[in-house]
Amino acid sequence: MADSVDPAVLRLLRRELVDVSRLGYERDLVAGLSGNNSLRVPGTDLVLIKATGCCMGDMDTADTVLVTLDGEVLDPGRVPSKEVRWHLGVYRTRPDVGGIAHFHPPHAVAFAVANQPPPLVHAAARGHLRLVRSVDLLPAGSKELADAVTELYADPELRVALMREHGTIAVGPDLRTAYHRTEYLEDDARVAILAAHITGVTPSALRLADDANPLAEVGG
């Protein structure tokens, strides 16, 4: 199956996965060996995903793994991230998704620890994210977590979600878009915490104003 993909295209896609992963690490969106990103090979039922046990900041193309949507590993000797189940579940459920970014951005994770999605407090977040939903705390790599994430993303409007006490999931038509949505989510969470501090209220109180705001696409 991998033979049907132009080797030059595959090399570029592996490089893209590495570059986006390194960028997230450099911008403090993930620590240690955590997180995992993936992308769909366009026009195929193949996915490239980060290998298990590697740091995003140190990634090279040898740390990318080609798998089928059924989970068959096509790079001998390489082991995909233990979260591969839910990545593949989202791709199977959402044909519009071409990339998935899973990071641990600290301000967004603070809301995940508090078990509440951040209010969308600024125009960019409302335009690019539209809504934020949550996945309950389940063992990393488990079938239960994979099922929960896949079910959540069956909603075609969902772009970003929090994993309780864990991290964030952002999807997009390509990996760069998913990555940028992660940045918007983290920026929104940080601004919500700062705004709550300034106004002397809890972040959840800001949600009332958030609910009154219309959604609008915001460029930049």
Tell me the one-letter amino acid at 40.
Answer: R
What is each CA distance from 88 to 13, 120, 124, 133, in whole angstroms? 17, 28, 29, 19
The C-alpha atoms of residue 77 and residue 25 are separated, in whole angstroms, by 25
Tokens of 65: 């793994």
What DSSP state is assigned to residue 73? B
Whether the Cβ atoms of residue 62 and residue 136 lie closer than 8 Å to each other:
no
Q: What local confidence, expressed as pLDDT, does residue 29 receive?
A: 98
Q: Record the pTM.
A: 0.91
Q: Max alpha carbon distance in the chain (Å)?
A: 59
Tell me the one-letter amino acid at 218.
Answer: V
The C-alpha atoms of residue 93 and residue 101 are separated, in whole angstroms, by 16
The C-alpha atoms of residue 94 and residue 155 are separated, in whole angstroms, by 9
pLDDT in tens, the chain (220 residues): 666 788 999 999 999 999 999 999 999 999 999 999 999 999 999 999 999 999 999 999 999 999 999 999 999 999 999 999 999 999 999 999 999 999 999 999 999 999 988 999 999 999 999 999 999 999 999 999 999 999 999 999 999 999 999 999 999 999 999 999 999 999 999 999 999 888 877 777 776 545 544 443 434 4
Catalogue all structural domains in the chain, each as residue range(s) with its CATH number: 2-106+131-174 (3.40.225.10)
